[in-house]
Amino acid sequence: MRNIVAISLPQALLNKLQSEAKQEHTSRSEIIRQALNEHFFTRELSKIREKASTEMIRKGKVYTEEQIFNEIS
């Protein structure tokens, strides 16, 4: 089930949203949904990376970004 959420945007941001929706042949709602999903994914990934990094430091290990990514994947 979908819910309707009203938001207010500055005119400049609304203009960008409308332009992007037109270019991508999609709805403003879809762009906002995608942006929120990316935002939450990025935050969750940051939390996981921070936890993994803290744990590795605690163990006295230092890893590259690639090694951390492989460790949590």
Q: From first to last of its 73 residues, what are the pLDDT tens digits of the chain? A: 889 999 999 999 999 999 999 999 999 999 999 999 999 999 998 888 888 778 777 877 777 778 777 777 7
Task: Report pLDDT for 33.
Answer: 96
3-state secondary structure the chain: CCCCCCCCCCHHHHHHHHHHHHHHCCCHHHHHHHHHHHHHHHHHHHHHHHHHHHHHHHCCCCCCHHHHHHHHC
pTM of the entire structure? 0.70
Break the chain into its structural domains and give their ranges.
11-72
Question: Contact 44/36 with Cβ under 8 angstroms?
Answer: no
